[in-house]
């Protein structure tokens, strides 16, 4: 399964698009089955970010990446894998979501996510609401379990690794948790886009999708 995470920034911020290939962990013949065996391995195959790019161009770049995935798999003789695009529809993302729907991208599922400060995942009206802490904990758990790999071919590999290391949990004066870059000058666009993709893959349990609740709208 291919998961694309699209984090949309304001005019002065970066937008980021990350491609995660989530595959079932390899099985050892004759070894006993454990619950952890159902957890997928994540490989970040592509990452890009841009600032000052019109949103219609962001949509076009997403299409080019999705189409390139299909071409590469066909050339390699691989069976087609599902493609899921998880987009941050919070704030400006709502308007860009309309562009994505109108573009009729060749994806199996388009997930419109509202990132919230709540405690539970909610869904309705075509949107899934996900607490930011869930995104952070999801990618942290995957990394700590050794299930997150970043392709060395990525030009932004070092940037993504630096963002992952700089991401911190902060506690506000009211006692609420916030999750952001450690310093104001740091960016977190790539790590957020990655967390969107990783959360999607973990949520739908790549190896046993029938056991997971459907929390997204298939716009096609």
Closest C-alpha among 86, 101, 107, 118 to residue 204:
86
Closest C-alpha among 49, 69, 67 to residue 58:
49
Alpha helices in the chain (DSSP H): 55-76, 93-103, 132-144, 157-166, 189-203
HSE-CB at 163 with a 13 A cutoff on CA atoms is 22
Residue whose structure tokens are 């790539």: 190
Residues 142-195: tens digit of each pLDDT: 988 889 999 888 888 998 888 888 765 543 444 444 545 443 444 688 999 999
HSE-CB at 77 with a 13 A cutoff on CA atoms is 0
Residue 215 is predicted with a pLDDT of 35
Which of these ranges, 28-32, 78-82, 115-119, has the smallest mean pLDDT? 28-32
* pTM value > 0.95: no
Provide CB contacts within 8 A for 49, sequence distance 6+.
Answer: 14, 15, 16, 17, 156, 189, 190, 193
Q: In angstroms, how far is the first alpha carbon of the chain from the final one?
A: 18
């Amino acid at each position: 399964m291919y998961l694309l995470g699209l984090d949309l920034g304001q005019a002065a911020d970066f937008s980021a698009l990350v491609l995660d290939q989530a595959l079932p962990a390899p099985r050892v013949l004759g070894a006993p089955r454990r619950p952890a065996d159902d957890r997928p391995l994540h490989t970040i195959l592509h990452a890009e970010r841009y600032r000052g790019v019109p949103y219609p161009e962001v949509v076009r770049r997403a299409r080019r990446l999705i189409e390139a995935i299909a071409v590469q798999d066909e050339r390699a003789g691989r069976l087609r894998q599902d493609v899921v695009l998880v987009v941050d529809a919070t704030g400006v993302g709502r308007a860009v979501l309309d562009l994505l729907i109108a573009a009729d991208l060749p994806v199996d599922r388009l997930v419109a996510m509202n990132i919230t400060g709540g405690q539970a995942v909610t869904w309705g009206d075509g949107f899934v609401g996900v607490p930011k802490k869930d995104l952070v904990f999801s990618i942290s758990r995957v990394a700590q379990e050794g299930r997150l790999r970043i392709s060395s071919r990525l030009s932004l590999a070092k940037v993504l690794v630096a963002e992952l290391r700089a991401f911190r949990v902060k506690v506000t004066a009211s006692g609420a948790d916030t999750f952001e870059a450690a310093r104001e000058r740091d960016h977190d666009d790539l790590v957020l886009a990655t967390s969107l993709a990783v959360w999607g893959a973990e949520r739908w349990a790549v190896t046993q999708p029938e056991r997971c609740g459907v929390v997204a709208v298939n716009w096609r």
